């Protein structure tokens, strides 16, 4: 299935600032409100359902020529536009 990027931004930030962004998203999810992302001339508003699929991924990308790689933690909410079940596994997630 082709992917259409609706919004994308990337920049280096302090950990505290990242936590504040994640906290805002968490508060919007708890309240059931829309989530609006905006940066520069880009903006998109999304309305996650009550039970989106939540994906957490930790990755290491190693350059093909050797050298030090890049580590990442990715958090993703996913749902079908038509309101159907996005699937996923029932494995328990623990973050410490």
DSSP notation for the chain: --------------HHHHHHHHHHHHHHHHHT--EEEEETTEEEEE---SS-EEEEEEEEE--TT-S--EEEEEEEEE--TTS-------------
The string of pLDDT tens digits covering residues 73-82 is 999 999 999 8
Residue 93 pLDDT class (50, 70, 90 cuts)? confident
Q: Lowest mean pLDDT: which of 19-28, 54-63, 87-96?
A: 87-96
Q: What is the pTM of this model?
A: 0.81
């Amino acid at each position: 299935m082709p992917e259409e990027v609706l919004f994308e931004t990337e920049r280096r930030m302090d950990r505290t600032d990242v936590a504040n962004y994640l906290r805002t998203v968490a508060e919007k999810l708890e309240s059931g409100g829309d989530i609006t992302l905006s940066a520069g001339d880009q903006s998109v508003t999304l309305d996650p359902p009550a039970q989106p699929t939540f994906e957490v991924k930790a990755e290491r990308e190693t350059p093909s020529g050797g050298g030090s790689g890049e580590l990442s933690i990715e958090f993703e909410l996913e749902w079908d536009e038509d309101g159907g079940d996005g699937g996923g596994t029932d494995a328990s997630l623990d973050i410490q």
